[in-house]
Amino acid sequence: MGRKYDVYGVGNALVDMEFTVTPEQLQTLGIEKGVMTLVEEVRENELIAQLAPHRGKQSGGGSAANTMVALAQLGGKGFYSCKVADDEAGRFYLRDLWDCGLETNLHQEDSEGLPSALPQGTTGKCLVLITPDADRTMNTFLGITASLGAEELNPKALADSDYLYLEGYLVTSPTAKAAAIQARELAQEKGVKTSLSLSDPNMTRYFKEGLLEMIGPGLDFLFANETEALTLAGTEDLTAALDYCKTLAKGFAITRGAEGSLIFDGETLLKIPTTPVQAIDTVGAGDMYAGAFLYGLTQGLGYGKAGQLASLAAAQVVTAYGPRLETEVLRGFLTQIQ
């Protein structure tokens, strides 16, 4: 008998607020382009006020959450551990998870189907700033998710999963990093395969030691983009970075934008091409890739076909604003890789 969940994810719960801006506006606001920067609540609120005329849609976000939503849309079964507060954003976030078909550590409901015992505080928010070159810049106020810890883990659900998936962003919080390490250790103890995404060049640049602690003696699978892999390996040579990744995980996927992706299945390096598209928003491309790939892997498609599915989904998601696709569109790709 198989396990109940395909993937058990752990990540920061953030409500994404999208804004379309110019590089000049980023400069005026003093925001570093193309990376994720952590900010305090006062700064976040100042930016929201200044950017109000450029505001787009609001959605449930956070890197691992986007991955888990993609998995669920494709038909996978997922459990997501996170932390939100008892405020409007927190209730919006949980409702979104449920609507997407994900179970969570916070799914206790009252008579109206609302969470019954959320903690006091402020739910985290991520300002996603999109420039005309399709680059994405993020300013994140973690809020209550900064205190995500071992108490948010559900050991029973984790032990009943095929894969554990951790986002690299957890490294920025001491309690979240400790929870990630505990989850990885528990997974290894229970025979659950382990995977992690490096998430962002700033994580590999400034938190390398912490990421290596999260990786521990080695993972089953590692997700990264080319910049993250090169930075973590401390090299400008892709071959050297690939060799370094082999010391961290049994398998890995390195995404390279328009050049497709490289997948190491434990023996062979597979080159997966991507579909040429007109990118307008690269937010969530890596998250989508990981979600589709893990779906493919847990459904027995194998590394090559899982990579094809992931590549198709990631290429499509950058052609529209936001980190998600319509369920019908996403599931349509399954017919293209059979």
At the fourth CATH level, which superfamily is domain 5-14+62-108+144-337? Ribokinase (3.40.1190.20)
User: What is the widest separation between alpha-carbon atoms in the chain?
Assistant: 58
Strand partners, 78: 7
Determine the pLDDT at residue 2: 84
Determine the pLDDT at residue 338: 62
Flag whether pLDDT at 113 surpasses 80. no
The residue with tokens 């409500």 is 15
Sign of CA dihedral 313, 316, 320, 321: positive
Cα(119)–Cα(145) distance, integer angstroms: 11
Mean pLDDT confidence for 109-133: 78
What ranges do the domains of the chain cover? 5-14+62-108+144-337
Cα(87)–Cα(75) distance, integer angstroms: 30
Flag whether pLDDT at 310 surpasses 50. yes
Q: Each residue of 198-223: pLDDT tens digit?
A: 999 999 999 999 999 999 999 999 99
Q: Write down the mean pLDDT value for the chain.
A: 93
Model-level pTM greater than 0.95?
A: no
Flag whether pLDDT at 32 surpasses 80. yes
Determine the pLDDT at residue 57: 79
CA 61 to each of CA 227, 245, 257: distance values in angstroms, whole numbers, following the listed order: 22, 27, 21
